[in-house]
Chains A and B, each alone.
Chain A
């Protein structure tokens, strides 16, 4: 089943332009429910009301207010907000190409697949060029009145664009150096390394299923005909006592069987 492009634009690198189509790489697998009124099973409506008197407020009278600080906000009129929208444009500007390691996982937000738009030659030439350089392009574009920041990369011979969080969104932390009592010994590090090695494999995401979603789907299926299930309480494990002992035991256990 093929998917529809959600947007068309052109990647711009200096003098070069490569026309592309943008496809969402995410497909929703979420089980969506309606909210119903329990008495008559009518789907409920949500209405916007004044908090002080509960009176409904029509769309035309609704406004957005931007918080200035903890005490004050300022009302922004629709025309003022319109003026703040970026101008429509069809270009995806490549700002720079950086080594892969320059972007940590915290930046990555939402993935898209880029496809060729008529000019297959230019598209696959760029895919090859980006792949050969082994770099990530930082890109900016305006799509449907919104500005986006993204990372251009290549996987399996195709161009990918992953939107990035903004600098203000990515939280940083100081590096930590634990005190002596919490520093593991060389022997413990060695054991841990062996243990990790013993269960290291390829990244095989297909092996992981969201069992909860599957059970939910089954429940709905069953309910459409008629039946039930039951519930279990989670418990929290006690922290490890003797670390080296646990490591050795784990290692022995993992040697006994093949780990996926």
Chain B
């Protein structure tokens, strides 16, 4: 098998741990299965100088280091409670580096609204055939394993899924993070007019297709942005050197090591990729569209990812991520607001997070 030709996504390992079910344990690495939109921009001034963010104390107008910062929680009565690093760590999740699959459910029983962020679970070299066994068995039974795990001081609910011989993880939202039509206060479903239901059913039929059209799924905004930027660059106006520029949304690509997933799979599973014809088809498709193939049926193959993308792979889709979980339990200095305003519910800055950690 000409494995070495297999295109693979450059991915970052976020976490290493062990899947356990019953007494079976499978060491795995967690890798992102989705990346940020390709439209992130750098922060500069009107002359192109690189800009950065600094914390200031408004009282003495001085730049602050991470060491000068503490975490404060404002109670409902407006009282500011200081939580020290030691106190914060004392309530850090006590769990080990395990994803303990406590139960299995039919994959179809998980509503899509629970899916928050997808990861690949690559087998550790020591995983042996237990990994394959779990992947095969789950695929055969159409089931997902449910468990929780701890990553970077956060606790996550997770569904383990199996696809194409590979295990994946979907971080799930907790039930109390989701609103329902009842809690929103929507009216109870009423009787619908049968004629209207039929007419709408016909309209659905008219729009029904067997599969997605990848052209419809593309990032129109990001493409327009890129095209405009390239046109402008041709005129020579506004072109600057990248070097030290910082992302506008402070979404620099985490600190994780970039690894070649195919390499990992080959090492730990002696894995071979799908038959050549499928790969060829995927590649032809990918070449034609110049975007990764993502087709639920035929093209589940190698899908050439634009692996040259610099920092993009595997950043968590950022804005949402920050709003949803970044601030939760981030270290004091690991937080930053996207604007110059007082960083109350700021996003986590990975740079400072690393420093503080």
C-alpha gap A193/B157 in the complex (Å)? 23
C-alpha gap A240/B27 in the complex (Å)? 9
C-alpha gap A239/B123 in the complex (Å)? 11
C-alpha gap A51/B51 in the complex (Å)? 5
B69 and A37: CB pair below 8 A?
Answer: yes
What chain B residues lie within 8 Å of A212 (beta carbons)?
A: 91-93, 150, 153-155, 329
What chain A residues lie within 8 Å of B83 (beta carbons)?
A: 33, 219-220, 223
Which residue of the partner chain B has the closest CB to A225?
Answer: B81
What chain B residues lie within 8 Å of A218 (beta carbons)?
A: 91
Min Cβ gap B115→A in Å is 4
C-alpha gap A60/B120 in the complex (Å)? 42
What chain B residues lie within 8 Å of A247 (beta carbons)?
A: 22-24
A66 and B32: CB pair below 8 A?
Answer: no
Min Cβ gap A84→B in Å is 6
C-alpha gap A167/B222 in the complex (Å)? 12
The answer to whether the Cβ of B255 comes within 8 Å of any Cβ in the partner chain is no
**Range of interface residues on B (Cβ < 8 Å):** 35 or more
The answer to whether the Cβ of B70 comes within 8 Å of any Cβ in the partner chain is yes
Cβ 8 A contact of B109, one of A26, A99, A173, A203: A203
A171 and B189: CB pair below 8 A?
Answer: no
What chain B residues lie within 8 Å of A107 (beta carbons)?
A: 294
The answer to whether the Cβ of B354 comes within 8 Å of any Cβ in the partner chain is no
What chain A residues lie within 8 Å of B355 (beta carbons)?
A: none
B201 and A195: CB pair below 8 A?
Answer: no
C-alpha gap A247/B25 in the complex (Å)? 10
A113 and B50: CB pair below 8 A?
Answer: no
B232 and A95: CB pair below 8 A?
Answer: no
The answer to whether the Cβ of B13 comes within 8 Å of any Cβ in the partner chain is no
Interface residues of A in 199-236 (CB under 8 A from B): 199-203, 205-206, 208-213, 215-216, 218-220, 223-224, 228-232, 234-236
C-alpha gap A31/B73 in the complex (Å)? 8
C-alpha gap A242/B51 in the complex (Å)? 56
Most buried by B among A33, A128, A239: A33
The contact string, 1 if C-beta is below 8 Å from chain A, for chain B 198-228, is 1111011111111111101111111011101
C-alpha gap A3/B34 in the complex (Å)? 30
What chain A residues lie within 8 Å of B48 (beta carbons)?
A: 63, 65, 75
What chain B residues lie within 8 Å of A86 (beta carbons)?
A: 221
Cβ 8 A contact of A29, one of B25, B101, B137, B174: B174
Interface residues of A in 105-122 (CB under 8 A from B): 105-111, 113, 115-116, 120-122
Which residue of the partner chain B has the closest CB to A147?
Answer: B221
The answer to whether the Cβ of A251 comes within 8 Å of any Cβ in the partner chain is yes
Question: What DSSP secondary structure best describes chain B's contact surface?
Answer: mixed
A46 and B346: CB pair below 8 A?
Answer: yes
B197 and A192: CB pair below 8 A?
Answer: no
Cβ 8 A contact of B189, one of A13, A113, A158: A158
Cβ 8 A contact of A54, one of B60, B63, B105, B216: B63
A76 and B92: CB pair below 8 A?
Answer: no
Given A47-B56, A72-B240, A183-B132, decide whether A201 and B105 contact each other with a Cβ distance below 8 A: yes
Q: How many A-B residue pairs have CB under 8 A?
A: 668
What chain A residues lie within 8 Å of B339 (beta carbons)?
A: 46
What chain A residues lie within 8 Å of B320 (beta carbons)?
A: 109-110
B27 and A239: CB pair below 8 A?
Answer: yes
A-side interface residues, number (CB < 8 Å): 179
A195 and B22: CB pair below 8 A?
Answer: yes
Given A32-B345, A167-B214, decide whether A234 and B96 contact each other with a Cβ distance below 8 A: yes
Given A28-B324, A48-B53, A193-B140, decide whether A171 and B313 contact each other with a Cβ distance below 8 A: yes
Which residue of the partner chain A has the closest CB to B177?
Answer: A29
The answer to whether the Cβ of B163 comes within 8 Å of any Cβ in the partner chain is yes
B87 and A182: CB pair below 8 A?
Answer: no
Which residue of the partner chain B has the closest CB to A52?
Answer: B49
Given A16-B200, A133-B204, A135-B208, decide whether A223 and B81 contact each other with a Cβ distance below 8 A: yes
C-alpha gap A227/B43 in the complex (Å)? 43
Min Cβ gap B126→A in Å is 5
B72 and A259: CB pair below 8 A?
Answer: no
A84 and B109: CB pair below 8 A?
Answer: no
Min Cβ gap A244→B in Å is 10
A105 and B112: CB pair below 8 A?
Answer: yes
B91 and A64: CB pair below 8 A?
Answer: no
Interface residues of B in 78-105 (CB under 8 A from A): 79-83, 87-98, 101-105
Interface residues of A in 144-181 (CB under 8 A from B): 146-147, 149, 151, 153, 155-158, 160, 162, 164-181
A50 and B45: CB pair below 8 A?
Answer: yes
Interface residues of B in 231-260 (CB under 8 A from A): 232-233, 237-242, 244-246, 248
Interface residues of B in 266-308 (CB under 8 A from A): 269-274, 279, 291-294, 296-297, 300-303, 305
Min Cβ gap A240→B in Å is 5
Interface residues of B in 301-328 (CB under 8 A from A): 301-303, 305, 310, 313-314, 317, 320, 323-325, 327-328
For the complex with contacts A70-B310, A124-B190, A205-B172, 18 further pairs of A-B residues with Cβ separation under 8 Å are A26-B179, A35-B346, A41-B80, A45-B343, A46-B55, A113-B186, A130-B204, A147-B220, A149-B217, A178-B129, A182-B132, A189-B133, A196-B138, A212-B329, A220-B75, A229-B90, A231-B92, A251-B22
23 contacting pairs across A/B (C-beta < 8 A):
A23-B184, A34-B72, A37-B69, A50-B45, A95-B216, A98-B211, A105-B159, A121-B192, A167-B218, A168-B292, A169-B219, A171-B120, A174-B274, A178-B269, A179-B271, A196-B143, A199-B102, A210-B155, A231-B89, A239-B124, A240-B128, A246-B24, A247-B24
